[in-house]
Chain A
């Protein structure tokens, strides 16, 4: 059974935020005005969190790139009254925008705070329309959105593989963040396929998941710093 997942090696991540920007570019994430951003209304499906500790000069800091965890047991879908958020058989947690009624229950249920609400209709000035990705819908006012593991790429990859009469390969389906990362800190693939790198890496002794005790069973794994 295919189960799409991600392993992020914190020892490789430099906090450069290329993944963040690549995600915005791939997924038509609109920018908001400075005062809206000030109110916490900027959207970033992938966000590089930084956690500084200690005092100068004994400071340390860890970067956590944080997409949706695509939980195997996702609290967000349980609270959605209209099943606008769902998990597909291959483990991708998605959002059906036309069905979402904007109650924001799921955003409150998600312990990882990865769900963003569109408080206003997206503004697409002419300049920004030019580079929108035609494969990804833009979202309307009043709906929730979040990281999709770039699942539009999966559809395309499947169609291509089918057209060429072959199996889907690991490299055929890679989300934008994994593709851009200059240090290869983000590895993506089928957790249940032993030939995929993620399957091997999730057995690494450094592996951990965020807030595992909540029982959400995230499919995003982190590899801790080397000591």
Chain B
């Protein structure tokens, strides 16, 4: 420490300070008039629950003082969160107390979209909805009811399905996030779900554009693997990111490679080429578990080329380099590092699938896992089980309902694989079809006027639907067109369940429970649906015989209790212990009574089964041959009919097209980790500094390379119009060295502070992959004009 004099001063300061600090709380609140006069410290409680802000569904812990939620942290018992949380999760308190919350059920009184509302009682609101649905069914038109289901987690999804099915409507329209990988797994493994990635035990993660640390299925899952075990005893996972822009994930990966948009699959096959050429792949695994690798002679004696020949003939490193822009040496070193790592795994992001050859490219990326045998083993791709919940009561369908279901969905998928964009397809069919084909549309966490690619089509569609009901807790663009609003409770006020996403290798069934008293004017949508079911009576009521959503949840949890597997959430030690026991075939009951089990599951935040049976053959492939298909017959057939002349895997020659004189720059839209998706309002803490740029607050921005900005003559911070052939929006130009000179990177999820929309997705050209109908994100070109 310094001189005696300074010591003395410090001591003085400290004494004064400790007194000052001791009671500044009271003094400042009262004396400076900035607090409540009746302030008191309050009683605090800590309660575990689950986050429903994004599809990751992390475990949260709320600090509740009296009956106010003052803070959210991670649930230390949740294996994915382990006490940590992402910024969006933390900012959840700003959703609970958001000024835009709808405070009571509302009936429209002005013109559609004029936002003139009259508050009504819940009995009145539910009565109106019930009566409408009753008469629709009595008229024999149950299929004219449609649900647009946005973010629909856990048992809410099952409840809606059961409601529509027993009512007789086949029009459950999914409008949630789909990265297109489930279709790939269905083709290659016969398992129709997105792959689970055992990132924590992987030695090397090669990510093809997956926004692992930003807006992936579960950023916290990726963070846990990135951080590695505490104390650095184990070797942490090595991350390499291949990306079209210098993303946050690329910035924090151990290494990254820039690539031309739309060429991920070609790079994957370039890596496969090196693996095969240098005999680095797992030949034994391929021989035992894979079909389609070698050439075969078909029944007529004709030779059919296998994966090996296809790759060796078409994907030589030089050609791949020319197409992707990744240097030859880089391709070779990536392939070697991938092959030499203890547990390599290739992760396929949504940027791979949202391209003209998306499905094939995703198959190519996943083929790297197959070549290395990184399937159904530690550190690889694992198809985890779902939590073994008890099913809902057996659905009852009466003849009226049956007739409705038999009429089939209004807009069935027309493409061979995956589900495409069901919401856009539905809107297209409504806008083009007869009026009245859809009588009543229910909106559940869906806001297509903000999030859909074609806003105009949705506007037309909404005009043709006589009755629109929104369950949104917040005013938003689409809710503005509703006839009736039945505001839901927020996740901090209601019962629900929060299973981890498919990317997580084993099931965690998180419980969502009220942390504070519910908003008096809002009601749980689950309870509202159950009430309408009771009002409808008959088969619908019999299919949903639950008093409340809470009783429904509890009934389902009985399935967990009965399976004699897994455990209520516990600390890392308890989890590991359970894992080891189950590996050896043991299981010890924690509870004799279901009630005690339920209480503890609620208290700790959920249930999990950390054991993964890697010896189970069904974890590898459920195809008819029992093998993993590298060149699935269904894919080859589909290519012959709708593949527009493409052959299995990708045409190297068809390098991504360039821009034109009018529209010289390629638009690269991307999701920002801290911003929400359209159904939730902006939270102030997040909007204040939404991205990397310390001087960007609230305003939508775009990123441009320094050379490009120079050529165009735009200084940093210029307001510009981003213009495509399909639309334009205003944004602030930020010069960013991580952008390729031919691209414009455009975050989405922001609006201007005055509400002016700024969605780069509205500029897209509307083209899609003919095999999956997933929209192309990176085929649109734009120009920038001074605004």
Contact = CB atoms under 8 A, between A and B. Distances in A.
A211 interface: no
Contact of B24 (A24, A40, A97, A124): A97
A60 B241 CA distance: 13
Contacts of A128: 94, 97, 684
A88 B13 contact: yes
Interface in B129-187: none
Contacts of A2: none
B73 A180 contact: yes
A59 B42 CA distance: 50
Given A83-B16, A86-B17, A16 B685 contact: no
B41 interface: yes
Given A20-B689, A131-B69, A184-B230, A47 B739 contact: no
Given A61-B246, A61-B251, A137-B25, A88 B18 contact: yes
Which of A18, A20, A31, A40 has most B Cβ within 10 Å?
A18
A193 B223 CA distance: 29
Given A49-B694, A96-B24, A99-B20, A12 B226 contact: yes
B156 to A, nearest CB: 26
A37 B697 contact: yes
B737 A54 contact: yes
Contact of B13 (A37, A83, A134, A180): A83
Interface stretch (B28-36, B371-379, B407-415, B584-592): B28-36
A73 B2 contact: yes
A94 interface: yes
Contact of B86 (A40, A53, A127, A182): A182
A96 B251 CA distance: 39
A101 to B, nearest CB: 14
B11 A182 contact: no
A133 B69 CA distance: 9
B257 interface: yes
A15 B672 CA distance: 13
Given A99-B20, A131-B70, A56 B739 contact: yes
Given A42-B689, A87-B14, A14 B35 contact: no
A168 interface: no
Contacts of A22: 73, 85, 87, 90
B223 A182 contact: yes
B741 interface: yes
B737 A55 contact: yes
A136 interface: yes
A128 B685 CA distance: 11
B193 interface: no
A42 B688 contact: yes
A167 B41 CA distance: 25
Contacts of B22: 155
B90 A34 contact: no
B49 interface: no
A16 B213 contact: yes
B573 interface: no
Contacts of A57: 246, 256-258, 325, 740
A16 B673 contact: yes
A98 B14 contact: no
B29 to A, nearest CB: 6
B565 interface: no
A151 B17 CA distance: 11
B10 A89 contact: yes
B306 interface: no
Given A18-B85, A180-B90, A182-B84, A136 B219 contact: no
A179 interface: yes
Interface in A10-45: 12-18, 20-22, 24-26, 31-32, 34, 37-38, 40, 42, 44
Interface in A54-75: 54-57, 59-61, 63, 73
Interface residues of B, number: 91
Contacts, number: 230
A144 interface: no
Contacts of B87: 16-18, 20-22
B564 interface: no
A83 to B, nearest CB: 6
Interface string B713-749: 0000000000000000000000011111100000000
A164 interface: no
Contacts of B435: none
Interface string B73-98: 11000000101111101110110111
A56 B698 contact: no
Contact of A87 (B10, B24, B97, B739): B10
A88 B248 contact: no
B705 interface: yes
A31 B13 contact: no
Which of A12, A59, A63 has most B Cβ within 10 Å?
A59
Contacts of A60: 251
A34 B753 contact: yes
Given A52-B246, A96-B21, A138-B29, A16 B227 contact: no
B31 A98 contact: yes
B246 A21 contact: no
Contacts of B20: 96, 98-99
A54 B688 CA distance: 27
Given A21-B686, A181-B84, A89 B692 contact: no
A205 interface: no
Interface string A114-156: 0000000110111111111111111110000000000110010
Contacts of B68: 130-131
Given A15-B213, A15-B692, A184-B84, 6 more contacts: A14-B223, A18-B89, A89-B14, A131-B68, A151-B21, A183-B224
Interface of B: 2, 9-14, 16-18, 20-22, 24-25, 27-29, 31-32, 34-36, 39-42, 65, 68-74, 81, 83-87, 89-91, 93-94, 96-99, 213, 219-220, 223-224, 226-227, 230, 245-246, 248, 250-252, 256-258, 325, 673-674, 684-686, 688-689, 692, 694-695, 697-699, 705-707, 736-741, 753
11 contacts: A12-B226, A18-B87, A24-B685, A26-B71, A86-B13, A97-B24, A134-B40, A152-B25, A180-B85, A180-B90, A182-B85
